Chain A
Amino acid sequence: MIPAETYLLLSAAIFCIGLFGILTRRNALIFLMSVELMLNAANINLVAFSLQHGNLTGQVFTLFTMALAAAEVAIGIGIVLVLYRNFTDVDVTKATTMRW
């Protein structure tokens, strides 16, 4: 059985890649994909610790996270399409109309 620390390292790597994408890119669609990567990193940890502890709690948490990710993308696509309609671009730095 692969030890849990290995899964922690893999998960940390994927999470850092997603965080890097959010912090550096300006495309709103890349934002959505980076959030998916970060949620997947959390899911890997949950499933790995579910096997380590011998119960199914982590897997149930993973299913809830998947439902959350699907809902988040459905809402995010609507926001991205409105952004494209109003600014003819998906660059998130151009939408400054709500800036105080």
Chain B
Amino acid sequence: MALAESIAFALFAIVTVSSAAGVVLVRDVWHSALLLGVSLVSVAVFYVMNQAAFVATMQILVYVGGVLVLITFAVMLTREDESVIEVTP
């Protein structure tokens, strides 16, 4: 049981740290926001490991449901148009 917990911790630590590094390293802001979502969800797994199921629920509801949607709105509203739609008469 302890071995399984250690393996799960190591796996989710790798997922969390690598996706957090991806947030600050990738060029596209949209991919950065998606990686932030991965990182926040895997942090919720650590809360479940620490017997804090309510905090994990609030993490997913508040962060992924609220904060990430707000950031996505800002990404969409402040994006430069790299592909201008050509309207031909």
CB distance from B40 to the nearest CB of A (A): 7
Alpha-carbon gap, A74 to B43, bound state (A): 22
Indicate if B62 sits at the interface (CB-CB under 8 A). Answer: yes
B-side interface residues, number (CB < 8 Å): 39
Are B67 and A50 closer than 8 Å at their CB atoms? no
Number of A-B residue pairs at CB separation under 8 A: 116
Task: Mark A7-33 against chain B: 1 for CB-CB distance below 8 A, else 0.
Answer: 100100110011011001101011011
Task: Mark B45-77 against chain A: 1 for CB-CB distance below 8 A, else 0.
Answer: 011011110110011001100110011011101
A-side interface residues, number (CB < 8 Å): 42
Are B24 and A25 closer than 8 Å at their CB atoms? yes
Task: Mark A37-59 against chain B: 1 for CB-CB distance below 8 A, else 0.
Answer: 10010011001101100000001
The contact of B52 among A36, A47, A67, A73, by CB within 8 Å, is A47
The contact of B20 among A14, A32, A70, by CB within 8 Å, is A14
Binding site secondary structure of chain A: helix
Indicate if B6 sits at the interface (CB-CB under 8 A). Answer: yes
Alpha-carbon gap, A80 to B33, bound state (A): 15
Alpha-carbon gap, A43 to B43, bound state (A): 9
Are B71 and A73 closer than 8 Å at their CB atoms? yes
Are A63 and B78 closer than 8 Å at their CB atoms? no
With contact pairs A18-B20, A47-B47 given, residues A66 and B62 touching in the complex (Cβ less than 8 Å): yes
The contact of A40 among B39, B49, B50, B75, by CB within 8 Å, is B39
The contact of B70 among A21, A44, A74, by CB within 8 Å, is A74
Assuming A14-B17, A33-B36, A40-B40, what are 9 further A-B pairs, CB within 8 angstroms? A1-B5, A2-B49, A17-B24, A29-B74, A30-B29, A40-B43, A47-B46, A77-B70, A80-B78
